[in-house]
Amino acid sequence: MMFTIDYKRLALQLLPYHLRKPLLFGLLRAALAPFESLYSRFLSARSEHIYRLTHNGQVCYLRACLNDHFKSTGGGKFEIMSVVREGEWLYAISETGEKIPLTLGEDNDSDTENVPVVYNELMLNEAQNDFVVSVPADIYDTQLEAVKALVDKYKLISKRAIYISQSA
């Protein structure tokens, strides 16, 4: 519940009846103008702090915060996935448990088997990276730095993120 103050009405009500003249009322309103702007800045900062306190580094809150801040035009939504290494392949595990390969097999002429190739250089340091942020394609192309800044704001310092684009 936001409580707002009508400073014009407050000044009028607190002014004695015999002093309610247009010139005096105008001076009083001019004197209250800095308090009005300060109070509106306080209310906006307070709502930002309350939002920040209710959203922490948990996956569901990070995903909700990203979806709230960046309204995707393509209908795609952000996904937060964990990185799991299994054998020679590198997987990201989505929230539904689906395995998404992050390496691709490349045909090798000398050998008969495929060689896994990491297509994202951040995947080379997968031991240090803790989660994958799947960004909608329209946001990935235009606002990736803003997404990184928002994730850095909410994630733990010890965690590192990998950013991949969702295919359109």
The 10s digit of each residue's pLDDT in 46-66 is 988 887 777 765 656 788 888
The per-residue pLDDT for 155 is 81
Computed over every residue of the chain, the mean pLDDT equals 76
The per-residue pLDDT for 48 is 83
Which has more confidence, 159 or 106?
159
3-state helix vs strand vs coil in the chain, percent to 5: 45, 20, 35
**89-93, strands of its sheet edge to edge:** 99-101, 89-93, 79-86, 131-135, 161-165
The per-residue pLDDT for 6 is 85
Distance (Å, rounded) from C-alpha 134 to C-alpha 112? Answer: 33
CA 33 to the chain's CA centroid: 34
For the residues 109-115, what does the mean pLDDT come to? 56
pLDDT at 95 over 90: no
Residue pLDDT, tens place only, 12-58: 888 888 888 889 888 888 998 999 999 999 989 998 888 777 776 56
The per-residue pLDDT for 53 is 77
Residue 80 in tokens = 């937060």
The per-residue pLDDT for 45 is 92
Number of C-beta neighbours around residue 79 at 10 A: 22
Indicate the SS3 state at residue 132: strand
The per-residue pLDDT for 125 is 58
Distance (Å, rounded) from C-alpha 72 to C-alpha 109? Answer: 42
Distance (Å, rounded) from C-alpha 132 to C-alpha 164? Answer: 7
Distance (Å, rounded) from C-alpha 77 to C-alpha 38? Answer: 36
Strongest mean pLDDT among 9-13, 54-58, 76-80 = 9-13
